[in-house]
Amino acid sequence: MTRTQLARRNLARPTVIARRVVGTPAEVAATVALVRDSGRLVSMTAPRQMPGDPRVTVTVRFLDNHGPAPAAVRRLRRGHVVAAVAVPAVGAIAAAGYLAAQLVDAVRSAVPLIAGVVLVLIVVVALLLRRSGRCCPGLHCPGCGH
């Protein structure tokens, strides 16, 4: 048999599956309506109340479509979406605040060092630019003729 013959044979004789559905009357009605609306419902039994329980049971027979099962659709609740956005946002704000505090602390601790370096540079430049008796110490000034 070839592949096309197998496919024709499966389409000619679809498989009938029987499943028992147990739940509240609204859940069972929704399940039966879903199978009926898909056009695959073959038959179903009358709903029976389970003794001492508000649940009902129904046996449903329907056609199997031989296709892969549809992927499950997962719906996120609004609270989950808010949490999925808020948690990383709060973390990013906290990280930015922490880094800003570290930067301010580093600058505050480095101010004396920066002031010392600037003071030393001013003293060195002042010593280099001062006039000596005969000649400038390496920097050319306009009056020395060096």
Q: Given phi > 0 = left and psi -120 to 50 = alpha, else beta, which region is 44?
A: beta
Q: What's phi and psi for 76, nearest 5 deg?
A: -85, 140
pLDDT of residue 65: 72
Q: How far is CA 102 from CA 94, 96, 97, 115, in A?
A: 12, 10, 9, 20
pLDDT band at 95 (very low <50, low <70, confident <90, very high): very high
d(CA 130, CA 146): 15
Per-residue pLDDT tens for 23-66? 999 999 999 999 898 888 899 999 999 788 889 999 999 888 76
Nearest to 21 by CA among 52, 51, 62: 62
pLDDT of residue 15: 84
pLDDT at 134 over 60: no
Residue with tokens 């004396």: 112
Structure tokens at 120: 């030393």
- The dihedral through the CA atoms of 81, 85, 88, 94 has a sign that is negative
pLDDT at 120 over 90: yes
Nearest to 19 by CA among 44, 37, 1: 44
DSSP for 9-20, please give it: HHHHSPPEEEEE
Q: Are 56 and 49 in contact (CB under 8 A)?
A: yes
